[in-house]
C-alpha cells in the first residue's frame, strides 16, 4: 500500500503513530534509556568498599556472618520453585540467580518448610516478585508481598 493510501485508510494521526513506532524499533532508540541516562549505574562494590560497608554495619551493632550456600540445595530449590521466564530479565538478565538466591536464603533462615497455619511470611520490597503468590498457591504458606511501588500481575 502506498503512503497516501495508508493515510487515507488509517488517518494522519494513526499513520504517524505507526510510523513513529516503526522508526523507533528500526533505530533502536530507547526512550526509557534516554530518560535515565544521567542516573547512577549500579556496580558491585569492590572488596575494599565491602570492608568499609561491613565496618560501618558493625559500628551500628549489626552482626556480620559469612553464609555458605550448598549449590546442590540451591539447584533443587530452583527446580521446586519455578519462577516466570521474564522474572528480573530472565535467566540471561544478569540477576536471575541473585534474586532466586535471596528467596532461597530467606526460606532457609526462616525455616519456611516448617511453616504452619499460624505462621505468616511477608516478602518486603517485593515489587513484581511472584514468590509470595507461589508460597500461597503451591505450598499453602500464609504469604504476602508488600512494596511502596505498585507492581503488576504477580500478586
Residue 134, in any domain of the structure: yes
Count of domains forming the chain: 2
59 and 30 in a single domain? The answer is no
Q: Does 17 score more than 90 pLDDT?
A: no
Residue 21, in any domain of the structure: yes
29 and 59 in a single domain? The answer is no
Note down the domain range covering 22. 3-35
Q: Does 24 score more than 50 pLDDT?
A: yes
pLDDT for the residue 135: 92
pLDDT for the residue 149: 74
101 and 130 in a single domain? The answer is yes
64 and 133 in a single domain? The answer is yes
pLDDT tens-digit series, residues 104-121: 999 999 999 999 878 999
* Average per-residue pLDDT for the chain: 85
pLDDT tens-digit series, residues 44-97: 899 999 999 999 999 999 998 888 999 999 999 999 988 888 887 788 877 888
74 and 108 in a single domain? The answer is yes
Residue 41, in any domain of the structure: no
8 and 75 in a single domain? The answer is no
Residue 151, in any domain of the structure: no
Residue 27, in any domain of the structure: yes
55 and 124 in a single domain? The answer is yes
> Residue 77 belongs to what H/E stretch?
helix 71-80
Query: If pLDDT is split at 50, 70 and 90, which confidence band does 155 have?
Result: very low
For the range 134-138, what are the long-range contacts, defined as Cβ-Cβ under 8 Å and sequence gap of 24 or more?
134/81, 134/83, 138/81
**β-pair partners for 153:** none
Q: Does 33 score more than 80 pLDDT?
A: no
Best CA proximity match to 126, nearest among 83, 97, 155: 155
63 and 19 in a single domain? The answer is no
20 and 58 in a single domain? The answer is no
- Within 8 A by CB and 6+ apart from 3, the residues are 15
Burial class (CB in 10 A: 0-12, 13-18, 19+), 143: buried
Residue listed under C-alpha cell 512494596: 147
132 and 58 in a single domain? The answer is yes
Task: Give the rounded percent of residues in the chain with a pLDDT score beyond 70.
Answer: 90
Mean pLDDT (whole number) for 2-19: 81
Residue 113, in any domain of the structure: yes
User: Is the model more confident about 109 or about 3?
Assistant: 109
Q: Does 98 score more than 90 pLDDT?
A: no
Residue 70, in any domain of the structure: yes
Amino acid at each position: 500500500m502506498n503512503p497516501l493510501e495508508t493515510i487515507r485508510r488509517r488517518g494522519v494521526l494513526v499513520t504517524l503513530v505507526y510510523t513513529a513506532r516503526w522508526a523507533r524499533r528500526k533505530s533502536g532508540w530507547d526512550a526509557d534509556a534516554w530518560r535515565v541516562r544521567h542516573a547512577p549505574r549500579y556496580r558491585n562494590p569492590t572488596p575494599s568498599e565491602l570492608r568499609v560497608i561491613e565496618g560501618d554495619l558493625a559500628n551500628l551493632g549489626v552482626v556480620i556472618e559469612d553464609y555458605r550456600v550448598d549449590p546442590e540445595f540451591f539447584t533443587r530449590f530452583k527446580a521446586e520453585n519455578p519462577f516466570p521466564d521474564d522474572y528480573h530479565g530472565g535467566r540471561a538478565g544478569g540477576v536471575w540467580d541473585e534474586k532466586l538466591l535471596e528467596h532461597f536464603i530467606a526460606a532457609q533462615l526462616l525455616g519456611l518448610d516448617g511453616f504452619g497455619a499460624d505462621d505468616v511470611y511477608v516478602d518486603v520490597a517485593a515489587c513484581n516478585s511472584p514468590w509470595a503468590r507461589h508460597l500461597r498457591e503451591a505450598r499453602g504458606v500464609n504469604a504476602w508481598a508488600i512494596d511502596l511501588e505498585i507492581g503488576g500481575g504477580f500478586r
